[in-house]
């Protein structure tokens, strides 16, 4: 297997960092998103990774898709290209572990679509996010019309997609596009600290909770409730459930140490 050139997975204390490093702006081309996919698959499979941070570095998260590469494609070839891109991003979104996007600088177009695949987004005070595809005569093609609308509702999503405008960190927080805003220098450390809190939790229950919420949003309430009930019952008999309830009865809440079994 070829060593990745632009994306690495670094693991420490239960947190896996998927690090993008394609100079100068982490533009997303086929190689980069395939490497993101491979890193996400590895993070999902590794028992020593209990939470994930996606990070583009101190200066930029990802400024968007590689327009130079995309400009050479026609509608027919774009179908296959877009399918592969969505596959890579879907792999990130379906990671059965908490995922935090640590956003510095620009997260535009495909860059923000990648951030939308995370469960939480931490922005630096000088970050700029947006879906500017409309300014190129196209629309978001890696989840921006769908995940964005599910996150903030159709009207706010349409404003961002129809105008293609850049949104600063404080407005992003107000709109629900970001979950926290911190000084640029603190973005990664804050994201890792959040991830470590989740990493201390019960992995099987966290995976079940994430699946119940995410898949429940894609169906009607009755199907969502049925899925919740199935996942809830499935956790009984696990070592973590027995440990958690025994610890609660003996020591009170928040004292259990979970193994993921």
Q: Does the annotation mark 113 as catalytic? A: yes
Residues 224 and 174 in one domain: no
DSSP class of 106: E
Single out the residue of 52, 58, 2, 6 nearest to residue 27, CA to CA.
Answer: 6
In this prediction, residue 75 carries a pLDDT of: 75
| Cα–Cα distance measured from residue 16 to residue 38, given in angstroms and rounded to the nearest whole number | 13
149 and 226 housed in the same domain: no
Q: Who contacts 59 (Cβ-Cβ below 8 Å, separation ≥6)?
A: 104, 105
Assess if residue 259 is contained within a domain.
no
Please, which residues have CB within 8 angstroms of residue 52's CB and are 6 or more apart in sequence? 15, 16, 17, 18, 40, 43, 95, 97, 98, 99, 100, 195
Q: Which of 160, 179, 199 is a domain's end point?
A: 199
- Give the pair of three-digit tokens for residue 149: 């609308």
Quote the mean pLDDT of the chain: 94
Query: Is residue 1 in a domain?
Result: no
Same domain for 118 and 216: no
Whether 62 and 103 map to the same domain: the answer is yes
Same-domain check for residues 244 and 122: no
Among 45, 84, 113, 170, the one annotated catalytic: 113
134 in the same domain as 41: yes
Residue 10 reports pLDDT greater than 70: yes
Task: Please pick, among 133, 171, 174, 228, the residue that the annotation labels catalytic.
Answer: 133
Give the CATH number of the domain where residue 168 resides.
3.90.226.10
116, two tokens: 């939308």
How far apart CA 251 and CA 261 sit, in angstroms, is 21
- Residue identified by tokens 């919740």 is 228
Nearest to 181, CA basis, from 119, 122, 103, 102: 122
In the chain, the number of structural domains is 2
| pTM (2 d.p.) | 0.94
Q: Are residues 208 and 195 in the same domain?
A: no
Does the annotation count 239 as an active-site position? no
The Cα–Cα gap between 256 and 231 comes to 21
Tell me the per-residue pLDDT of 74-123, one tens digit each, with 9 for 90 and over.
Answer: 777 888 888 898 999 999 999 999 999 999 999 999 999 999 999 999 99
The average pLDDT across 181-187 equals: 98
Nearest to 140 by CA among 177, 100, 158, 113: 113
Residue 102 lies in a domain: yes
Q: Which residues constitute the domain of residue 59?
A: 7-199
What is the domain-level CATH number for residue 212? 1.10.12.10
Q: In what order do the strands lie in the sheet with 106-108?
A: 106-108, 128-130, 167-168
Q: In whole angstroms, give the CA distance from residue 214 to residue 150.
A: 10
Is residue 256 one of the residues assigned to a domain? no
pLDDT by residue (tens digit) across 18-62? 999 999 999 999 999 999 999 999 999 999 999 999 999 999 999
Chosen domain end from 182, 199, 216: 199
Assess whether 225 and 101 both reside in one domain.
no
């Amino acid at each position: 297997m070829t060593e990745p050139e632009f994306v690495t997975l670094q693991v420490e204390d239960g947190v896996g960092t998927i690090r993008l490093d394609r100079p100068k702006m982490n533009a997303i081309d086929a190689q980069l998103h395939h490497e993101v996919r491979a890193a996400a698959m590895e993070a999902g499979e590794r028992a020593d990774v209990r939470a994930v941070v996606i990070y583009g570095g101190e200066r930029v998260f990802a400024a968007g898709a590689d327009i130079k590469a995309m400009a050479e494609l026609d509608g027919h070839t774009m179908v296959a290209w877009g399918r592969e891109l969505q596959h890579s991003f879907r792999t990130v979104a379906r990671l059965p572990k908490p995922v935090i996007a640590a956003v510095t600088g620009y997260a535009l177009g495909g860059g923000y679509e990648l951030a939308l695949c995370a469960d939480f987004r931490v922005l630096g005070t000088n970050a700029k996010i947006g879906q500017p595809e409309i300014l190129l005569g196209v629309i978001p093609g890696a989840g921006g019309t769908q995940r964005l609308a599910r996150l903030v509702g159709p009207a706010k999503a349409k404003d961002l997609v129809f105008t293609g405008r850049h949104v600063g960190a404080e407005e992003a927080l107000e709109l629900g596009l970001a979950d926290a805003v911190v000084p640029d220098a603190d973005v990664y450390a804050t994201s890792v600290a959040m991830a470590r809190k989740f990493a201390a939790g019960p992995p099987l229950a966290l995976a079940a909770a994430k699946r119940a919420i995410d898949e429940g949003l894609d169906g009607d309430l009755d199907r969502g409730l049925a899925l919740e009930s199935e996942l809830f019952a499935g956790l009984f008999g696990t070592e973590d459930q027995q440990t958690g309830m025994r610890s609660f009865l003996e020591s009170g809440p928040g004292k259990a140490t979970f193994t993921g079994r």
